[in-house]
Amino acid sequence: MTNLENVQDGYQKFADQDIEGVLAKFDEGIQWHECNGFPFIEGDGIYIGPESILQNIFAMIPEHYDGFNINITDLMASGDKVIMQGFYEGTWKETGKDFKANATHIWTLKNGKVTHFFQAVDTAAIIS
């Protein structure tokens, strides 16, 4: 499986709510860089390891959002990097308002496992 196919498969698993399948794609030492501005991000927004990502990111999404999904408009790969361009969509529970926010992800893979994740998202749009 190429890096691009691996990341595509991860997005499909996320859409199917197969979080264990997503976590299985992560290296044990993965560094996850979450955008500041999300309501549940603590400190510098950097999380290390799949369990930390599960507890601090994935488990928090349904607490704050209804119908959260990632709408991918472009996915490209070069070497050990895969870049996603798209949108986050859903409803911010606090206000009940729907949102569509620009989102970009940069994935770094080594030996078929994700070692780094970097996110850039219009966080103001997802909490309005």
Pairing of strands 97-110, 81-92: antiparallel
**Which pLDDT score, from 0 to 100, does residue 126 have?**
85
Q: Is 83 within the bounds of a domain?
A: no
Q: Is 7 within the bounds of a domain?
A: no
Please state the domain count of the chain: 1
Q: Is the pTM for the entire model greater than 0.85?
A: yes
Domain that residue 98 falls in: 31-71+92-110
**Which pLDDT score, from 0 to 100, does residue 71 have?**
97
pLDDT per position as a tens digit, 68-126: 999 999 999 999 999 999 999 999 999 999 999 999 999 999 999 999 999 999 988 88
**Which pLDDT score, from 0 to 100, does residue 123 have?**
85
Q: Is 20 within the bounds of a domain?
A: no
Contacts of 104 (CB under 8 A, 6+ apart): 83, 84, 85, 86, 119, 120, 121
